[in-house]
Structures are given as structure tokens and as C-alpha cells.
Chain A
Amino acid sequence: MSSHSHSLIELHQVGQSFVTHQHSVSLFADLTFSIEQGHSYAITGPSGSGKSSLLMLASGLEQPTAGEVVYSNQGHIQPISHIRSEIGFIFQQFHLLPEFDALNNVALPLKLRGHKQALAIAKEWLDKVGLGHRLKHKPAELSGGEQQRVAIARALVFNPKFIFADEPTGNLDANSAGEIADLLFECCRDKGAGLVLVTHSDSLAQQTQHQLRFNAGKCERVSAQQRAEHTVERGSKRYA
């Protein structure tokens, strides 16, 4: 575990609602939990239940309509905006820049920060995600799985404290999804980054240490026992 392990994102009694056609719709309310650096979290639930909104709030990209989201570093409480530069994202659609080759896509966050060794570090990362032989390939020349590997390398190359991933395997076939998930967890573990991912995939969610589930308008923490039962249930179904 890295030295960042005392960093936390804390959500205190957070609620999110919006008004549509003069009706207030509440996505979730009174949600309190912490995201600890070095740990992994899954947010699951049906479409439209508020998973992505929670991701936005937790990453500080949006303000909650109730409660607050703060960053706690060694016990010092700071606004979430304080950690904004140390958060990385991974998307379902990868969102690599089509004009750049794999190497430059990965080097981009470092280059923008003025890092002198940007290309060398990017190359190391591409080697790490198994694309050392695809450095000069443009996104259009890479498969979905390869693109997501590049995206993972790009998200982690600047050593963020937290990674937020939205359906990172949603666009991939089962084999690629498994490989990508393993890679994602491994990289986050190696770098000591906190990982928060939104997913529909139970198997992916099961690989995380913590899980929040949206269900019938509520967001609840799934206990270790529930997760274990769910795994058995899934297993029995699979082999039934």
C-alpha cells in the first residue's frame, strides 16, 4: 500500500434531486460513506437509478443538492475541489483522442502538466498494460480491449489518488472484460489508487472491496455477507 492511504473522500448525508416538468425527482438522499485511497468500490443498480450522478458527486464534478462531499487528508478536511487534480477517469467509450497514437494518448496528461519524461513514462505504462508493441497505433487501429488498456494507462500515468471508472468493461466482450478488469484492479493496487467504478456487471462488482447498490430509489451499502451470498447464488445459477 502506498503512502497515500490516509486520503479519503467523504460523503456526508448527500442527496441529489432534480426538477423535471415541475416535479422534483430524488435520485438518492441521506447517503453517507467514505472512499478510501487504495480501496476499490463498485456502484451498481439499474439504468437511471443515479449511479453516474453519484460518481459525479464523489469525484467533485457536480455539487450535491443536499449534504456535502469533502476531501480528508491525514485528518485535514478540505473541499473536494482540492483533490480535483489527483482524480482520473476511465470511460465506457474509452474517449481516446483519435488524432494521437497510443503513446501520445498516454503521455498526454503528463505533457499537459509539463512533465519532461512524459514519453518515457507513457511507454513504461503501455508495456505494463501489454501494449508495448502498439505504441504508434492510432485508436482506430486498436481493438476495443486495447483501447481500454490505453485508457487505463492514461488514467493512471499521472499517479492519481483516485480513479473513477464508468462502465469500464461495458463495451467489451466477456473475455476482454475480464482481462481489462484484472488489469484495472492490478494497476490501481500497484499505484495505491482508490478505484470507484460504476457497473452493471456483478462479476466486476464482486471483485471490488466495497459495493453500493441502488435499489428502488435507495442507495444501500452491500455487506460482506450479502456479497458472499450473492456470489454463491450466482455460482449456483451458473452451474444449474
Chain B
Amino acid sequence: MHKPILPLAWRLFLEDGRTVNQRVLQATQTILMVFIVTLTLTSQSVQQQLEHNMANLLGADAVVTHTGALSADEFAYLQQTSSAVIYTQSLKTTLTHADKWQRVSLKAVDENYPLQGQVQVSNSQSEASYSAEFAPAPGEIWLDPRLSSGLAIAVGDILTITDTPLTVTHILHHEPDRLMEGHNVDMRALVNRQDFTQLGFADDTIDYRYLLNADKAQIDQLFTWQQQQLPSAEFRHRQGSHPLALFWQRTENFIGLASVILLFMAAIAIYQVSRIQIRKEQHFSAVCMSVGASRFEGLKVSIYKWLMHIASLLPIVLVIATLCHFAIVDWLSATLSNLTWQPNFATAGLAFGACALLLAVFQLPVWLSLKQASVRQLVFNLPHPQRAIVSLGSAIVVLMVVTAIYSDNGLLTTMVLGSMAACVALIALVSWLSLTLGEKLTQRYSGLFSFATFMMRQRIVSKSTQIMGVGLCAFLLLFTLMLLRDLGNTMHKYQRQYDGNLFVSQADSTQMQAVESWVLKQDGEMRQQKPFMYAKLIRVNQQSLDEFATRPSESLATFKRSIRLHWTDVVPSNNRVINGQWWGIAPQETQRSQNWQQISVEQEVMTDIGLTIGDQLTFMVGEQAVNFTIVASHAYKSGAGSITFWVQMPTAAIEYLRAPHYYMASIETNEDSFSTLGHLWQQHPTLRMVSMREMMARFDNTLTLVTQIISGFAMMIICLASIVIVSSVLAYERQERKKNSVIMSFGLPKRTCLHINLIEWALTGGIAASGAMFGTWLAGVLIYQSQFSLPYAPDFIWLAGTLLVIMVIVIAIGHLASRNSLSSSVRELLAE
């Protein structure tokens, strides 16, 4: 039964391959598939690497992390439930040497360290590393190579921490238990526990990590115990997930969500091309039916042909995606050490199959249209009905599926899709308004411009689609370009203006006093100072956090650690209440004591975690588990400093909570006085303070990374934008050729057609660019504010310049794509 159909489908497949519209379709499909397959392959590589790290970099079978030491009973339980246990202590501090300082992660160990694996050290920066059979002895400190360079200190030199001299005896290259230390890029130093104790850091600032050798049963037992008895602790084990797994999942989701934009553009291109396809396939089916074949056989030919097209893409997609995968892994290996490239054709094949299913949904309108193919159509030369609603429906289904797969953060999804939808609606509205008004205003006038607006208005559906494709590309490009440019500029300007040039992220009362007197001495100014205490969210409505919030998000990841809990009675001047009722200053003592268990949570966090007003949050504050009810949500308001807190409670609460108080502050001072900071740190090594210059340097590094990612993404968008333009031209090429031929049949020269074409593209570019400009402004207002907490101040001259460039490019691409229709002649009309 299939025998006669397959060769026919093969023959048609070969014929199709020669047509421009099929090539455009294949290019669109290839770009989409390459994107998704590469993303899947990269994700797989990273997850495998994380699993490998989990197995090799935990330094133990299980690790319990807790801020502050466990009680004797708790430690005894760990000893009972494991075959061996050791612990390390670590904290963030600033080490100084001569006039240099560096923020480091200082770790203290004893002679039993490490529990599993080996420490790699060398005797100098230039020498090769070897496995150390010992830990740092009292009076010794080991520094990692970057720290050694940053402080300009070498093996044999003395480093003083709060008057305690320590000799640098080794360069530290690797610790087997680094995994639990957050995969950060902090510089590192290792000391003996004895010295660490002498330094006298407050216990609640120290992270204790208990490394255990345990079997599976013991691990299960420990897990249950931790959940019940020690909810504020973090428990990791070999069989569990990597701490970065969630972060990577989120990154993948964000990129996946971005692919919605690519899919949307591809949907436009595919819709345009399918108009031609529908006409061809209906005609073919009708011809088949006129010679006795059934409609189903026509459908089968169409499906086989499509499968052949998809199969023909497989090798191309696999090769390109594998190359891209290789390049990305190479690029990522700078950040994720030991990440290596390995071909993974099984995963690639599966991802390809999933993409093919998505593309099949896009193909549905073509197959459904075959239902309407009939011999009557041939006899009466009936028009081929377009199934715009089916096409729209298919596109929406695909977009929804992809959104559902990748969406993990309500707010981000809403913002990405919301800005996109707003831009699409806006461009549609601008198209309709400008073309309708253009036509109305010029209908009484003659000339090429009025003709062009009239023609565009008449073809409003196709023109709007074309404008939308171009507009969306322009919007995305413009927004990403602007974001990169403005973010850097605004950050520099804004931070300097409102937050000074020195930022204290954690200081206890003594440290704060020292900072204040230092500021006074330097003739500086304390811009902001806000108190907080650390609290860890352990339960939401009596459910554990993991049970309550199952989707990964930035907020959830942060809530897994201790967060800063701020107290205030009035709404801070850089906040505004979004929902609920903020508490006031209760006049009576009794009211104060009754109403202290209420909090306000930042709106974005509420959306991310899925919290609502009235929810009960249980925080571990110090050793206490405290319940709070959410009574309000707030959001950041620019213009009054950037220090803002996710969670805020009434001042009355501090009377009931036994936990150390800390401060965040921003300072404006003469940068020359920074040279005296070393002394301040020498006295208060745990003071967390960073200069704006350093922060900007970190920000610039992030920006570079983001620029690289966005540039890659922009390249794909440009490719798809060009495809959208070409496909929209192809879809109407027949009508355009006819129009041009008819114009020439009035005795007008070809030049007239060229001018009309240029006017049409200029209008298309202009409307699209205006829509894009507005969309960019809208997205700027929404995203700048909520994601970067920055006021949006666009540079309109820059925007206008960029738009002009976009318009010129659109006219050029559009004109090039329309060359074929401009080569029409009156003879064609005679020949029909």
C-alpha cells in the first residue's frame, strides 16, 4: 500500500528542495533545532559535570552545614550515626598585607583534615603542586595562588590577622571538600583551628561544616534527623543533588524561555511559508483526487514528504549543534572547571525528536487544509482558503508547551512574555492605525505614496505580520543593545549618586562604630545605615520550604541560605507597599507585643515562591523558630538609596528575638582615604565592606559574560529576522509580481515599481521601528525597575540613531528579497 506513495513523496521531496520557500522553511527549522539541541546538550554536559563533582568534591559521604557550632548533643549524634566525623570552620573576611587587601574565605581545619581526598599544595607559586599529608600547623597559613598574588605575599612572608602573625608556608591549590563552599570565586586561605579560635570571631558568623563518612542507611537516618531536629542546617550527601544543580536548572530555564521568542519568530516565518505550501499541496491533492486517488492518500504523501524533510535536517542539525556544543563547553570550562566535551548523539537525537514534534504542530494547518482540497477547486479555479486561525492556534500551542517546559519563575515568565505580548499587540495596533490613517488621509491624493499606503492597508493582515516580524526583531535587538549600554552607564552614575563609593554589607555594632569614626575622620558622609539580623526560612504554612516551593527560582535559591531580616516601623523611603497593610507604630505596649509577628515580603519574592498575604512563615532566628504572618508586600522605589530588604518586620519584634544585630551602610568618602581601610580591616577582619570600584569591576565581568551570551542570541535573532522578511516576501511574491506587471501595463516604467517597493519597505521599517521603540521603552520601565532596581532613563538620540540603522537594514534586506518580484513583466500577464 505504501509502495507507490513513498517514491512519489520522495520525488516531490526532491522537487521541493529546489524551491526557495522550502529552503527558507528548512533554514528556520534548522535554526530552531540547533538552538534547542545545543541547549539540551550543554545542559546535559553541565548536569553530568555537577554529578561528577558531587561524587568527587564533597570530601565526605555526607556534609552538614550550619551557621554556628552544633551543640554537644547534636555533635554526639553525628558521631553515633557515622563511622567518622570531622569539622571545618569558615568565614568571609578581609586579609590585609602592606597597603593591599583582599576579601577571602578563611577556613580552619585540624590535623584530621581532610576526611576524604587530598589537599594539593606547592612550596611556591612557580612550583608544581603535590598532595599534602598534613594540615596547616599552628602559626601557619596557606594561601591560594590568586590571593598570594593579590596581596603580593610569598611563601615565607608573615601575614597578620588582628595582631596574630601567621607565616605563609604553602600555596593552596585544591581542597577536596570545596563543593560545599558554594562554587564561588572567592580567594581562599587555610589555617589551623587553634589559630582560628584565637582570632576570636563571633561564632554566629562562622559556617561549620561537619564532614561524615556514612553508609546509605546512616545517610537516610541523618537526613531525617536534620529535617526534624536541625532544620536551619543544610544537608548534602553523595546521592543527592548538587548545590549548583538548581542554579543551572534556572539558567537553562531562562534560556529556554528566551527560545519562546525564537519560536514566535519562527512561527511567523513558517506561517508565511505555509501559505505557499497550502496552495501547492491542496492543488496536488486535488489533482490526485481528479485521477481517482483518495484524499487520505494525498495526506499520506504530504506526511511522508514532511518526514523526509525533517530527516534531511537531522545530519545538518546534529553537526552544527555538536560544534556549537563544543564551543560553549569550551567557553564554560573557564567557569566550571573540569567541564569537558563529549559527543552525546543519543541526547541530541532525543532533543531533535522533541523539536520535530513541535514542528509537526506548526505543520498541522497544511495537513488540515488538505481536507478542503477538491476537484471542484480545479474545475472552478477556486481560491485556496487560508487557515489563519489554525496557524495561530498551532503557534500558540507550541509557545505554550515551550513556556510550560521552561517556566519556573512566575514573574520572569510574565515579564518576558508580557513584554513580548505587549510589543506584539502594540506593533499590531501601530500597524493597523498607521496604515488605516495613512490610507484615509491619502485616499483623495494621487501619487506613489498614497498608492503604497493603500496597497499596504489592503494587505493589512500580511503587512502586519511582516511588520510584526521585523518589529519584534528590532525590539529584541534594540532592547538587548540598549540594556547592555544603559545598564553599565546607569549603574555607574546611579550608584555614585545615591550610594556613595563604599558599601558595607555586614558590620556588627562594634564594627559599625569603628566605621562611623573612620568616616568622620576621613571627612566622609554616611549615606544610609540599616540594621538587620540573619534568619533562615524553614517552613511556609507549616510545610518545609522544599515541600512548599517545588519550582526552582532565584528567590528559592536565596531562601535556602540565611537572609537579612530588617526591622522598621515606617515604610522605607525607597520602598512602596504593593499589597496588604503595613504596620504602624503601635501606641500601646500591649499592642506592640501582640502585633510583632508580622512581616512584609518583597512582591517579586512573593510571586517567585507563590506566597500570598496571610501566609505563615517560620524563620529560624538564632536558636529560635519564630512564626510570622505576611501582612504586606513591598517593592523597590528608586531615588532614595539602593539598600532594600526582601523581608521586613516591626521594630517591636527585636525585643523578642535573640540574635546578633548587624548593619548595612553606604558611605561617600574621598577615594584617597581608601588607603587607610587596611587598618580598619586589620582591626575588624570580618567587616564586610566593598568599594564601588571593586563592585563595578565585578559588575563589568558579569556584563562581559552577559554581553557574550546576548551577542550569540542576537545573532540567532538576526538570522530569524532576515528569514521572516524573506518568507513574508515569498508568501506574496505572486501577488507582487502581478501588481508590478499590472503597473507596467499602464505604461509606467519599472522604476515606478521600484519606488513603490522602497516606500513600502520604508513604511514597514518605520512602523516596526516605532513599535519596537515603544516596546523597548515599556520593557525598559518594567524590567530595569524590577530586575535591576534601576530607574530607566533612555537616551533617545542613541535610540533614534539605532532605529535609523535598523530601518536602513530593513529596507535593504526587504528590497533585496523583493528583487524577484521586481523582475516581473507585462509578458507574464499575457502568458497567464
Contact with B along A141-178 (1 / 0, CB 8 A): 00000000000001100101000001000000000000
- Verify B747–A84 contact, CB threshold 8 A: yes
Give CA–CA (A114, B739) in the complex, Å: 18
- Verify B747–A88 contact, CB threshold 8 A: yes
Give CA–CA (A109, B829) in the complex, Å: 17
Residue A125, interface by CB 8 Å: no
Expressed in whole angstroms, the minimum distance between the Cβ of A171 and any Cβ of chain B is: 11
Contact with B along A93-122 (1 / 0, CB 8 A): 101011110001000111111111011000
Return chain A residues, CB-CB under 8 Å to B450. 111
Report if A84-B745 is in contact (Cβ < 8 Å); known contacts: A61-B827, A91-B830, A111-B451: no
Interface of A is mostly: mixed
Residue A52, interface by CB 8 Å: yes
Residue A89, interface by CB 8 Å: yes
Expressed in whole angstroms, the minimum distance between the Cβ of A179 and any Cβ of chain B is: 23
- Verify A86–B747 contact, CB threshold 8 A: yes
- Verify A97–B739 contact, CB threshold 8 A: yes
Most chain A CB neighbours (cut-off 10 Å) among B446, B743, B752: B446
Complex interface residues of chain A between 70 and 94 (CB less than 8 A to chain B) = 84-89, 91-93
B: interface residue count bin: 20 to 34
Return chain A residues, CB-CB under 8 Å to B738. 95, 97
Residue B796, interface by CB 8 Å: no
For the complex, count residues of A whose C-beta is within 8 A of B: 37
Return chain A residues, CB-CB under 8 Å to B446. 110-116, 118
**Partner-contacting stretch, out of B13-21, B385-393, B453-461:** B453-461
Give CA–CA (A119, B443) in the complex, Å: 9
Expressed in whole angstroms, the minimum distance between the Cβ of A17 and any Cβ of chain B is: 17
A109 to chain B: closest residue by CB? B746
Residue B749, interface by CB 8 Å: yes
Give CA–CA (A85, B458) in the complex, Å: 26
Give CA–CA (A154, B746) in the complex, Å: 8
Residue A182, interface by CB 8 Å: no
Most chain A CB neighbours (cut-off 10 Å) among B446, B742, B747, B829: B747
A-B interface contact total, Cβ < 8 Å: 83
Residue B448, interface by CB 8 Å: yes
Residue B748, interface by CB 8 Å: yes
Residue A62, interface by CB 8 Å: yes
Return chain A residues, CB-CB under 8 Å to B749. 84-85
- Verify A108–B451 contact, CB threshold 8 A: yes
Return chain B residues, CB-CB under 8 Å to A62. 827
Among A56, A85, A97, the residue within 8 A (CB) of B827 is A56
Give CA–CA (A91, B458) in the complex, Å: 23
Among A52, A84, A88, A99, the residue within 8 A (CB) of B458 is A99
Give CA–CA (A130, B454) in the complex, Å: 26
B752 to chain A: closest residue by CB? A112
Residue A31, interface by CB 8 Å: no
Give CA–CA (A97, B827) in the complex, Å: 17
Expressed in whole angstroms, the minimum distance between the Cβ of A144 and any Cβ of chain B is: 12
Return chain B residues, CB-CB under 8 Å to A187. none
Complex interface residues of chain B between 454 and 481 (CB less than 8 A to chain A) = 454-455, 458-459
- Verify B826–A89 contact, CB threshold 8 A: yes
Most chain A CB neighbours (cut-off 10 Å) among B458, B752, B826, B827: B826
Residue A55, interface by CB 8 Å: yes
- Verify B742–A112 contact, CB threshold 8 A: no
Return chain B residues, CB-CB under 8 Å to A113. 446, 748
User: Which A residues fall within an 8 A CB radius of B?
Assistant: 52, 55-56, 59, 61-62, 84-89, 91-93, 95, 97-100, 104, 108-116, 118-119, 154-155, 158, 160, 166
Can you list 28 contacts pairing A with B, beta carbon distance less than 8 Å?
A52-B831, A55-B830, A56-B826, A62-B827, A84-B747, A84-B749, A85-B748, A87-B747, A88-B745, A89-B826, A89-B829, A93-B829, A93-B832, A95-B738, A95-B741, A95-B829, A97-B738, A99-B455, A108-B451, A109-B746, A109-B747, A109-B748, A111-B447, A112-B448, A112-B743, A113-B446, A116-B445, A116-B446
Q: Ordered nearest first, which 10 A-B pairs have the shortest CB separation?
A: A99-B458, A109-B746, A89-B745, A85-B747, A111-B446, A114-B447, A114-B446, A166-B830, A118-B446, A93-B832
With A61-B827, A116-B445 given, can you name 19 additional A-B contacts, CB distance below 8 Å?
A56-B827, A86-B747, A88-B745, A88-B746, A88-B747, A89-B830, A93-B829, A95-B738, A95-B829, A97-B738, A99-B455, A99-B458, A109-B746, A110-B446, A112-B748, A113-B748, A114-B447, A154-B746, A160-B747
User: Which B residues fall within an 8 A CB radius of A?
Assistant: 444-448, 450-451, 454-455, 458-459, 735, 738-739, 741-743, 745-749, 752, 825-827, 829-832
